[in-house]
Structure 1
Amino acid sequence: MRVLYTFNKPWYYHMALDSVLLSLKAQNKIPNTLRFLSFQPECVLIGYHQNPYDEVNLELCESLNIDVGRRRTGGGAIYFNQAQIGWEVVASLKDFDIKNYEELSQYMCEKVAKALSTFGVNAKYRPRNDIEINSKKISGTGGVLQGGAFLYQGTILIDFDPDKMASLLKIPYEKLQDKNISSAKERVTSLKQELGYSPSFEDIAKAIEKEFEDFGLEQGTLTEEETNLLLELSKKLNSKDWVFENEITDKLISTKTIRTKAGTFKINFKIDKSKRLLEYIVINGDFFATPPNAVKDLESHLKFSYFDEISQKVKTFFDKTNLKISFMTDEELSDIILKAINE
């Protein structure tokens, strides 16, 4: 397994490299890769399915010169600075004997939790995608499947400024209420808070590497093909078109927020009540879907559907496209759509 160190890079470099590595791995053109990363300058990254206007205090970010970007994976918005280290694995599913996304999430989180425990903390995996120390989150994770390959990634809070994070992110009330807390401060911790000091990037990376040493680690560099594709895609991602892709511009759209075991869903819709007709729908949230683009295709598939057609249309779409939403069935997705538009 190749090991890459890509510290102090802008967000669009990392997001582009994620896509390049996953695409080439799906084509079996590159070795399995363990990558460590950090962000410079600081930034806020939203999940693939999120709307930046719902998740980020954009005016404050602009005034503080904090970049706003979009990930290629699902999950929620995260604030990144030099007090976090990112980790990710890009590999073939068959090499890890993993059958689905839920197994992948548990496997990777348990590996990294074990690595963190070597520093003397009680780190544990918490479904669906968190690593916790004494019930406080220290690492959020997420991934995506493509062909027979996967990318799974996370960040570790070495130090943490809860007030700054809370000011930059719009954390949904439903999310806090679901966890029985009043603020993000109660939910998050850091290695410095737990240990009294900040471990170095190198020490954390070495601890994680040890958990993957059975795969035969070897420090490497990017290939020429990876570098060329990275430069090309970086330009595309460093654009408003990519970051604001899920922006809702229609002022007549209604929104219903529903919290589920799969994440927080924001159902944006327009209906004709008299005809019981769904004219428009956009599904935002911090959920994980594979393939990610299939959710947009489902939205198109459901436009101008009568209410009593929706459940069957969702089921048929799931069956035909092999869309999978982590911790959610097609019936459960139909239920929350119908709940949103009927209220």
Structure 2
Amino acid sequence: MKTPGARSQWTDFNWQLVHPQPLQPLQHMALDQVLLDEVAAGRRPPTLRIWEWAAPAVVIGIFQSLKNEVDAHAAEAHGIQVVRRISGGGAMFVEPGNTITYSIYAPLSLVEGMSFKDAYAYMDDFVLQALDDAGIKAWYQPLNDITSEAGKIGGAAQARRGGAVLHHVTMAYDIDAVKMLQVLRIGREKLSDKGTTSAAKRVDPLRSQTGLSRESLIQKMIDVFRQRNGLQESTLTPTELATANRLIEEKFGTFSWISKVP
């Protein structure tokens, strides 16, 4: 019996894996809220969700300024949708097949008493092992970056509500650095002081560091998670999908949400 207020262990839970077909960016945003709320309410066991993207997107954090982060004209020209998520962190540039994105939805007791710095690293430790198994020496760069000697691999974000924690990560498997710098304003400031070459080096895709396919890397991540914590196949329920669609109409697809911070 876990002592009230004590930290839970990964193996205290019956973890579920959700890895559906490619979804639209707005569906991903809404599902993060839905599944976080479902775990918080005890209607869904703690869950690992692997994202597949049906379309390119720029995903900005809940506190980020739309105009400061995104060149709207460039995004429109490239057919890239801009969406806003419920967690903090920085902007993500994603294209189908070029990123590895996942979310973990867990009771808050899993990170009870941890600092945000420690909680981020703790939630992603299984990924560092999977990358190591793939021959990539990666580590956590506080607060929320996964990096290697070749450069940044990905970034994490979290949201906590209703007694549950959402932790998600996007890692660059491959990247179109030119397009990214055209669409992300912050990318220009951080990366383009020496042109596109330095941008590509700073955000270094996993593809350049391993001979493994994207699918093989994802499978390694799943395998490590399952070996450590147990993991059962699951699916999104009709109710979860219907709730996500409603939230797209009422919240995530609205201009007021996307421009929440102008």
Using the size of structure 2 for normalisation, the TM-score is: 0.85
The Cα of 1:148 is off from its aligned counterpart by: 2.1
The Cα of 1:211 is off from its aligned counterpart by: 2.9
Q: Percent identity?
A: 30
Which has the bigger relative contact order, CA under 8 A and spacing at least 6? 2
Q: Which has the higher strand share?
A: 1
Residue 167, structure 1, aligned to residue 185, structure 2 = no
Letter in 2 for 1:240: F
Residue 212, structure 1, aligned to residue 222, structure 2 = no
Residue 10, structure 1, aligned to residue 24, structure 2 = yes
Q: Would you identify which runs of 4 or more consecutive aligned residues in structure 1 move more than 6 Å?
A: none
CA contact (8 A) 2:141 2:147 kept: yes
The Cα of 1:57 is off from its aligned counterpart by: 1.0
Cα distance in 2 between the residues matched to 1:204 and 1:14 = 21
CA contact (8 A) 1:98 1:104 kept: no
Cα distance in 2 between the residues matched to 1:104 and 1:135 = 25
Give the alignment of 1:1-343 within 5 angstroms.
1-82=15-96, 83-95=98-110, 99-134=114-149, 136-171=151-186, 175=190, 183-195=198-210, 197=211, 199-201=213-215, 203-213=216-226, 214-236=228-250, 237-247=252-262
CA-atom RMSD in angstroms: 2.2
Measured against aligned partners, the alpha-carbon deviations of 1:208-232 in whole angstroms (never above 9, x if no partner) come to 1233223321000123432221121
CA contact (8 A) 2:150 2:201 kept: no
Max Rg structure: 1
| Partner residue, 1:285 | none
Distance 1:64 1:181, change over 3 A: closer
CA contact (8 A) 1:93 1:99 kept: no
CA contact (8 A) 1:115 1:211 kept: yes
* Structure 1 unaligned blocks of 5 or more: 248-343
Measured against aligned partners, the alpha-carbon deviations of 1:10-30 in whole angstroms (never above 9, x if no partner) come to 111001000001112111221
Using the size of structure 1 for normalisation, the TM-score is: 0.66
* Structure 2 unaligned blocks of 5 or more: 1-14
The Cα of 1:155 is off from its aligned counterpart by: 1.2
